[in-house]
Amino acid sequence: MKILVLGSGGREHTIIWKLKQSSLHSKIYCIPGNGGISEDAICEPSIKISEFEKIYDFILENKVDLVVVGPEQPSVDGIKDYLSKYNIAVFSPTKTQALLEGSKVFAKKFMYKYGIPTADFVVCNTYEEAKKMLKEMFKKYPEGVVVKADGLASGKGAVVCDTIEKAEGVIYDIMVKKIFATAGEKIVIEKKLKGIEISLIACCDGETILPLTHSQDHKQIYDGDKGPNTGGMGAYSPLGFISKKLEEKIYNQIIKNFLLGIKDSYLNYCGIIYFGLMIENLAKENEQPYVLEFNCRFGDPETQVILPLLKNDLLEVIISTIEKKLKDIKLSFYNKSACCVVMASKGYPQEYETNKEIFGLEEVKKLKDVIVFHAGTKKVKNRYFTSSGRVLGVVGIAENLKEAVERSYFAVEKINFENKYYRKDIAKKGFSIMESIYDNI
C-alpha cells in the first residue's frame, strides 16, 4: 500500500515512523515533509498542503492508495471532501466534521446541546457585544475568563484573562486589530476553569470510539507554565494520576455523549478526535472532567509519546477507522512511559532564528530507547539545519516515567545548535500531582 502523509512537523514524522513498521505499507510519501522525515519517506517540498489540485495530481502520478492528514488546516479546508470525489481514501474528518476544531462557537454549542461538560460561555458576534458580555461574565466569574477566537489561530487563539482590563485588550486585538484575521470575527468568552489539563486522543468511525493512552502537554514557553502559549514544548504519557473512576466518568459523561451527538446530528465523525480536558478537584469526591476543546487530528507533541507506546499496527487501525470496523479492533500499549522534550529556536513562539546547523544527531541515534522526531529541520547533503520554531522532539522511553524523563534530557544535552532552547521541567508537574495525591490519602 502506498501512503501519502500531509504535513511537515514532529507529529507527521512520528506518524510516518509508526506507519513504516506496518507490513501493509510498500512506500510512504510526505508533502511537504522536512529534513528528518526525508530519511523515512519520499518528500515533495514543492507542494503546499493547501494546494489540493497539485496534491491530487501527485496522488495520481504516484498511485497513492491512502492519504493521512496530519495538521488541522487541510481538514478544516475540506481536503477529504475534495479527494473523496475521486474515490481516494483519506484519513481525516470532512470539512463539516472538522468544524469541531475549526469553529469554537460550533464546538461549544455542540457540547451544550449534547450534555458534554464544558465551561459556561457566551458567543459574541461584534466588538460592542463582546464588551457588554465581558462585564456580565466578570460579574458571574470574578476569578477570570478565557477569550477564544472562533477560528483556527495556530494554538494561540485562547487567552486566559484574570482581569477585565486584560480581557478588554484581548478582545480589541482579536476583533478590532484582527490579529487572527477572519478567525476572530466571532469570539467565545467562557468561565476560567481551574484544575489539571490533560489530552485524550481517540479514533472514531462514527459508531465506535477507541481512546488511545492519555497524555499531558506543556503549552507555555517557560518552565513552571509561564509565558505565552506555544504549539507545545513537551509531553509525557501515560498519566499515573488518572484513576479508573475518572476514566469511567470521562467515558460516561464525555465520550458517550459525543457519540450520541455525532449520531443525532448526522455528523458521523470519522477520524482522530482529540479531547482537551480540564480535571477539576482531581482525586477528590467531587472530581469532574470538562472539555476545553476538540481537535480533529493527532496532537503535537502528544503523538510523539503515544504512538511509540502503541503495540498495534497503526495502518490497520487507520484502515479499520475508514472502513467503520473499529469495533473489531482492540488497542494495546506497552507497559512503559514516554517523555518528549521539544528543542526550539531562540525567539519562539514569536520571531525565531533559523538556518542553524544541528550537531549530535548521529551520536543520539546510538542511544537505546531514544527517538528523535524532526519538527522543523532541513537537510543539506548529510547536514541538518533548523528551519522553524520547534526544531526537534526528543523522546525517551523507559519502564517508568522518571527514567523516561532522564533518558530524554540525557539525549537533549548531546544535541546542539546555536541558541537552542527547551524547557527543563517536562513531566515535573506529573510527579508533583502524584505526590499531592499520595499526601492526601
pLDDT tens digit string along 291-329? 999 999 999 999 999 999 999 999 999 999 999 999 999
Report field, pTM of the whole predicted structure over 0.85: yes
What pLDDT score was predicted for residue 81?
Answer: 98
Boundaries of every domain in the chain: 2-94, 126-185, 196-439
Q: Is the pLDDT of residue 148 over 70?
A: yes
Is the pLDDT confidence value at 337 over 80? yes
**Domain 126-185: assigned CATH number:** 3.30.1490
- φ and ψ at 73, to 5 degrees? -60, -45
Residue type, position 159, single letter: V
Band (pLDDT 50/70/90 cuts) for residue 229 is confident
What is the rounded average pLDDT of the residues 40-60? 98
In terms of Cβ atoms closer than 10 Å to its own Cβ (0-12, 13-18, 19+), residue 204 is buried
The three-point CA angle 227-228-233 to 5° equals 90
Span 143-162, average pLDDT: 92
pLDDT at 327: 97
What is the CB neighbour count within 10 angstroms for residue 333?
15
Q: Considering the chain, what percentage of its residues have pLDDT values greater than 90?
A: 97
Joined grid coordinates for residue 291: 472539555
The DSSP element (H or E) to which 358 belongs, if any, is: strand 357-358
Q: DSSP strand E in 61-153: where?
A: 66-69, 89-91, 121-124, 145-149
Residue reference for cell 522526531: 373
Amino acid 436: pLDDT: 85
The enclosing H or E element of 405 equals helix 401-414
- Identify the band that residue 240 occupies on the pLDDT scale cut at 50, 70 and 90: very high
CB count within 10 Å of CB 229 equals 19
Which tens digits make up the pLDDT trace of 350-387? 999 999 999 999 999 999 999 999 999 999 999 999 99
How many helices (DSSP H) and strands (DSSP E) are in the chain? 15, 23
Mean pLDDT, residues 37-60: 98
For residue 441, pLDDT beyond 90: no
Cα first-last separation, the chain: 52
What CATH class is the domain 196-439?
alpha beta
pLDDT greater than 60 at residue 252 = yes
- Choose which CATH entry (3.40.50.20, 3.40.50.10320, 3.30.499.10, 3.40.640.10) describes domain 2-94: 3.40.50.20
How high is the mean pLDDT of the chain? 96
| pLDDT, average across residues 179-198 | 96
Out of 39-48, 220-229, 253-262, 310-319, pick the least confident.
Answer: 220-229
Instruction: Report which of 165, 168, 166, 146 is spatially closest to residue 157, judged by C-alpha positions.
Output: 146
Whether the predicted pLDDT of 422 surpasses 80? yes
Quote the pLDDT of residue 440.
62
For 226-273, give the DSSP string: EEEE-S-SEEEES-TT--HHHHHHHIIIIIHHHHHHHHHTT----EEE
| Bridge pairing between strands 27-32 and 66-69 | unpaired
One-letter amino acid at 249 equals K
Burial label, 388 (beta-carbon count in 10 A; 0-12, 13-18, 19+):
buried
